[in-house]
Amino acid sequence: MLHDYRTATLSETQLSLAHTLDCGQCFRWIPSPDGTWEGVVRGSLYRLGQNALSDPSCRIYTDPVLRDYFDVDTDYLDIRNELSGLDGHLAEACRFAPGIRILRQEPWEALCSFIISQNNNIKRIRQIIERLSGRYGVPVAGTSRNAFPTADALAKASDDELRALGTGFRAPYLLDAANNIASGRIVLDELAALPVGQARARLMEIRGVGPKVADCALLYGLHRLEVFPIDVWMKRVMSRHYPDDDVSRFGRFAGIAQQYLFHLERTGVGISHDASVARAEDLEERHGHGRTS
DNA sequence: CACCAGGCAGTGC
DNA sequence: GCACTGCATGGT
């Protein structure tokens, strides 16, 4: 062990707030013009700035909730070294935004967030989650924001009420998830002890939870780092860089690999040579002869 | 006005 | 098993 992780601070390449909080794994952090981020974690409001992380007394290190949430005690340098050895494109993704971490979000919030995410865009996912919290969440004292609603609170909502907040066809999915959790038929914390395949199958008993949403709940909510959620962006990554479609190559940290690859694919245009070439090909295809296909 | 967005359920074969 | 379609809504 090279560091004492109980006292060491994290540099920006070990924890970048901007990359971690805006890479599509969480939806409740809001950037301010002064560069700080405001978010609600387990019922408390936090405002954090990158500069403060160089101080060992920063709450990220001293507050047990934040220390756990940001997974401070995991060494991402080791993980990136392991992933970077797998192939060149993954190494580039690790280099592109090394400060990304997989947060330890609340399982119920992660499950709901990714139910809402289906056939949706990240901006609108944020809006819907904020409206849900505003309507059904407990207010955070002294602030203008609310905690994410409990399953009990959501279970009491009606289909029409949820649709009025813009959830659309996902309203019955949220209700089925809320009923399963509120009734205790599914206990998310217990899924953490199951083999990943069994945990995944339990999650998929919920209406509106398929393989992708289940994997996101497992990765972001239950911190199962071996799962590899595949969405439309990752399908592009796979077809372009891993045409054999074999995800077992990514190993025990596949979920972290996925997050680096996802972020590079979504935001790396113009920086990554591969991505910009592929982007140009996409544009040519669309504007040229893509209308009929 | 089409098309897309961190998919899924239903249907048909 | 795989291919195809409808789905609510808001942004380009």
**A77-100: buried (b, 16+ CB within 10 Å) or exposed (e) per residue?**
eebbeebbeeeebbbbbbebbbbb
Residues A113-149 have pLDDT tens digits of 999 999 999 999 999 999 999 999 999 999 999 999 9
C1'-nearest nucleotide to the CA of A128: C9
Residues A50-107 have pLDDT tens digits of 999 999 999 999 999 999 999 999 999 999 999 999 999 999 999 999 999 999 999 9
Residue percentage of chain A with pLDDT more than 70: 89
> In this structure, what token pair is assigned to residue A152?
């009990």
Distances A180 to A65, A77, A174, A188 between C-alpha atoms, Å: 26, 38, 10, 10
Nucleic strand B under 7 Å from the C-beta of A168? no
Nucleic strand C under 7 Å from the C-beta of A85? no
User: Please, which positions of strand B sit below 7 A from a protein CB?
Assistant: 3-9
Q: Rounded to the nearest 5°, which phi and psi values hold at A152? A: -60, -45
Dist CA A49 CA A33 (whole Å): 11
Q: Scanning the structure block, which residue is given the tokens 């849900």?
A: A132
**pLDDT at A286 exceeding the cut of 60:** no
Nucleic strand C under 7 Å from the C-beta of A123? yes
pLDDT tier for residue A7 given thresholds of 50, 70 and 90:
low
Dist CA A42 CA A6 (whole Å): 22
What mean pLDDT is predicted for residues A196-203? 98
**pLDDT at A203 exceeding the cut of 90:** yes
Q: Report the side by side order of strands in the sheet with A37-41.
A: A30-31, A37-41, A44-48
Dist CA A17 CA A14 (whole Å): 10
> In this structure, what token pair is assigned to residue A105?
């979000």
Strands A37-41 and A30-31: antiparallel
CA of A59 to C1' of B3 (A): 45
CA of A207 to C1' of B12 (A): 22
Query: In 3D, which of A87, A118, A99, A22 has the Cα closest to residue A53?
Result: A99
C1'-nearest nucleotide to the CA of A258: B6
C1'-nearest nucleotide to the CA of A173: B8
Nucleic strand C under 7 Å from the C-beta of A168? yes
DSSP one-letter string for A245-290: --GGGGGGGHHHHHHHHHHHHHH-BTTBHHHHHHHHHHHHHHHHT-
- End-to-end Cα separation, chain A, in angstroms: 55
Q: Which amino acid is at A84?
A: S
Nucleic strand C under 7 Å from the C-beta of A166? yes
Q: Give the residues across from A44 on adjacent strands.
A: A41
Task: Note whether A170 and A116 are within 8 A (CB).
Answer: yes
More confidently predicted of A2 and A27: A27
pLDDT tier for residue A8 given thresholds of 50, 70 and 90:
confident
